[in-house]
Amino acid sequence: MKRNKKRIIAAVAVIAALAAGGAAFTDSIIGNPVTNGTTAGYGTLAITGATVTDVNYTLSADGTDITAVNFTFSGNLETDTLRLAFDNANLGLCTHTGITGGVIPSGAYDGTTSTTVTCDVTETTTAATSLQAAVTNN
């Protein structure tokens, strides 16, 4: 009985170590291209005020910088305000051509299911480990 108990404890310890190791990797933004080799996948995303269905990143030509964050939200978010930040920094307003004061412009909604928004950013791929975003209704 003692021997079985030791094996069970050892097995639980191994499973816990594997789970902890796996969790460490879920908070990283790394390669793993999603489309055309120029976007990176994301590890975590904390968002309030909206339901995000897809996020990907546009990278610089050499892959060392994230130059844009591309969001797809469920539903119509036109005229709502989008803020974002990497690594729990203070949230800043989304900026991009056609976006003023972080307000999601008309035409971002596809008319049936989703709103797509691109925000320009400058973040090194080695420094970015998480992304936070918030949408407020105007």
Residue pLDDT tens, the chain, 138 long: 454 444 444 433 333 333 333 222 223 344 443 344 444 555 556 677 888 888 888 888 888 888 999 999 999 999 999 999 888 889 999 999 999 999 999 999 999 999 999 999 998 887 787 888 899 988
| Number of structural domains found in the chain | 1
> 136, 133, 104: which is closest to 45 by C-alpha?
133
Q: How far apart are the first and last CA of the chain?
A: 65
Q: Which domain holds residue 13?
A: 3-136
